[in-house]
Structure 1
Amino acid sequence: MKSYAAAWLTSGTQLQFRRSAFELMRRIEHKPHELIYFHRSDDPYSQLMVQVLPDLAARFDVVIRPLVVERLPAAMYPDPQRFEAYSILDATRLARLYGLGFPSSATVPDRLAVGMANRHLTKLQNDPNFFAVAEEVGAALWRQDIKAVRSLCVAADIDEKTLENNERLLRSLGHYASGNIFYGGEFYPGLDRLDHLERRLNRLSLGDNEVHFELTRLWRYGLESMDRSVSGRTLELYFSVRSPYSYLGLYHGAELAAKTGLRLKLKPVMPMVMRGLKVPPTKARYILHDTAREARMENIPFGRAVDPLGLATERAMALGFRLAEDGEDLAFFKAFTRAVFAEGIDGATDQGLSRVLARAGISSSKLSGALSPDVWKPRAEKNRQMMLMSGSWGVPTFRIGNETLWGQDRMWAIVEALKQH
Structure 2
Amino acid sequence: MPSLDFWYEFASTYSYPAVMRIAPLAEDVGVTVNWRPFLLGPIFANHGWADSPFNLYPTKGRYMWRDLERICEAEDLPLTLPPVAFPQNGLKAARIARAGKEDGWTPDFTRAVFTANFVEKKCISMDHVLAEILEKLGLDAEAVMAESCTDLNKAHLRADTDEACRLGIFGAPSFTIGEELFWGNDRLEEALRWAVKRG
Q: TM-score range by the shorter chain?
A: 0.7 to 0.9
Matched, 1:321 2:70: no
Matched, 1:250 2:27: no
Equivalent AA in structure 2 for residue 309 of structure 1: Q
Aligned equivalent of 1:105: none
RMSD: 2.6
SS of the equivalent of 1:409 reads: helix
Distance 2:43 2:123 in 1: 18
Equivalent AA in structure 1 for residue 4 of structure 2: L
Equivalent AA in structure 2 for residue 243 of structure 1: S
SS of the equivalent of 2:148 reads: coil
Distance 2:134 2:63 in 1: 31
Matched, 1:386 2:163: yes
Question: How much does 1:412 deviate?
Answer: 2.5
SS of the equivalent of 1:410 reads: helix
* Greater relative contact order, per chain length (Cα 8 Å cut-off, separation 6+): 2
Task: Summarize deviations over 1:260-296 as a string: whole Å, max 9, x none.
Answer: 3422112222133896422313333322221121111
Using a 3 Å threshold, how does the CA distance of structure 1 residues 341 and 234 change in structure 2: closer, same or farther?
A: same
Q: Any residues of structure 2 matched to 1:9-408 within 5 Å, and which?
A: 232-272=1-41, 276=45, 277=49, 278=51, 279=53, 280=56, 281-307=58-84, 309-310=88-89, 313-372=90-149, 374-408=151-185
Q: How many pairs are equivalent? A: 188
Distance 2:142 2:150 in 1: 20
Distance 2:44 2:191 in 1: 29
Question: How much does 1:363 deviate?
Answer: 4.4
SS of the equivalent of 1:235 reads: strand
Equivalent AA in structure 2 for residue 291 of structure 1: L
Using a 3 Å threshold, how does the CA distance of structure 1 residues 247 and 360 change in structure 2: closer, same or farther?
A: farther
Distance 2:150 2:63 in 1: 32
Question: Which structure has the larger Rg?
Answer: 1
Distance 1:388 1:274 in 2: 7
Q: 1:303 touches 1:342 (CA, 8 Å); kept in 2?
A: yes
Unaligned runs of 5+ in 1: 1-231
Using a 3 Å threshold, how does the CA distance of structure 1 residues 363 and 300 change in structure 2: closer, same or farther?
A: farther
SS of the equivalent of 1:340 reads: helix
Question: How much does 1:353 deviate?
Answer: 1.5
Q: 1:237 touches 1:264 (CA, 8 Å); kept in 2?
A: yes
Task: Summarize deviations over 1:4-33 as a string: whole Å, max 9, x none.
Answer: xxxxxxxxxxxxxxxxxxxxxxxxxxxxxx
TM-score (norm 1): 0.40
Task: Summarize deviations over 1:105-147 as a string: whole Å, max 9, x none.
Answer: xxxxxxxxxxxxxxxxxxxxxxxxxxxxxxxxxxxxxxxxxxx
Task: Summarize deviations over 1:32-82 as a string: whole Å, max 9, x none.
Answer: xxxxxxxxxxxxxxxxxxxxxxxxxxxxxxxxxxxxxxxxxxxxxxxxxxx
Q: 1:238 touches 1:383 (CA, 8 Å); kept in 2?
A: no
Q: 1:335 touches 1:357 (CA, 8 Å); kept in 2?
A: no
Distance 1:378 1:419 in 2: 32
Matched, 1:412 2:186: no
Question: How much does 1:344 deviate?
Answer: 1.1
Task: Summarize deviations over 1:147-181 as a string: whole Å, max 9, x none.
Answer: xxxxxxxxxxxxxxxxxxxxxxxxxxxxxxxxxxx
TM-score (norm 2): 0.79
Aligned equivalent of 1:128: none
